[in-house]
Amino acid sequence: MRQHKLALCKEHYLEWIPEQTARFIKKYEMFAHDEKILVAVSGGKDSLSLWHILIKLGYQADGLYLGLGIDEGINYSHESQRLTEEFAASHNLKLHIVDIEKEYGQPIPVIAERSHRGHGKPCAVCGLAKRHEMNRIARDLGYDVLATGHNLDDEAAVLFGNTLNWSSEYLLRQGPVLPGTAGLARKVKPLCRFYEREMTAYAIMSGIEYIYEECPFADGSQSIFYKESLNQLETARPGAKLIFYLNFLEAKKSGKLFLEKNVELANLHPCPRCGQPTSTPDQCSFCRMIEKTQSETG
Q: Which residues bind ligand Q46 (CB under 6 A)?
A: 70, 122-123, 126-127, 215, 217-218
- Nearest distance from residue 288's CB to Zn ion, in Å? 8
Q: Which residues 269-288 are close enough to bind Zn ion by CB under 5 A? A: 271, 273-274, 284, 287
Amino acid at 17: I
CB closer to ligand Q46, 103 vs 144: 103
β-bridge partners, 277: 270
The Cα–Cα gap between 221 and 225 comes to 7
The Cα–Cα gap between 173 and 158 comes to 11
CB closer to ligand Q46, 167 vs 221: 221
Nearest of 64, 50, 67, 152 to residue 102 by alpha carbon: 67
CB closer to ligand Q46, 126 vs 199: 126
The Cα–Cα gap between 237 and 246 comes to 15
CB closer to Zn ion, 91 vs 273: 273
Identify what 218 binds: ligand Q46, Zn ion, none; CB under 5 to 8 Å per kind: ligand Q46
Identify what 64 binds: Zn ion, ligand Q46, none; CB under 5 to 8 Å per kind: none
CB of 182 within 8 A of CB of 194?
no
The Cα–Cα gap between 165 and 159 comes to 10
Site string for Zn ion, 226-265 (x = CB under 5 A): ----------------------------------------
Nearest of 49, 53, 44, 48 to residue 15 by alpha carbon: 53
- Nearest distance from residue 73's CB to ligand Q46, in Å? 12
- Nearest distance from residue 286's CB to Zn ion, in Å? 6
Adjacency order of strands within the sheet including 95-99: 95-99, 60-67, 36-40, 145-147, 186-188, 177-178
Q: Establish if 123 lies at the interface with Zn ion (CB under 5 A).
A: no
- Nearest distance from residue 281's CB to Zn ion, in Å? 12
CB closer to ligand Q46, 76 vs 87: 76
- Nearest distance from residue 219's CB to ligand Q46, in Å? 8
- Measured from the Cβ of residue 275, the count of other Cβ atoms closer than 10 Å reads 14
Identify what 274 binds: Zn ion, ligand Q46, none; CB under 5 to 8 Å per kind: Zn ion
- Nearest distance from residue 118's CB to ligand Q46, in Å? 9
- Measured from the Cβ of residue 98, the count of other Cβ atoms closer than 10 Å reads 14
Three-state DSSP class for residue 180 = coil
Binding residues with Zn ion: total (CB under 5 A): 5
Residue 67: in which H helix or E strand, if any?
strand 60-67
CB closer to ligand Q46, 123 vs 156: 123
Residues in the chain, total: 298
Interacting residue ranges for Zn ion, rule: CB under 5 A: 271, 273-274, 284, 287
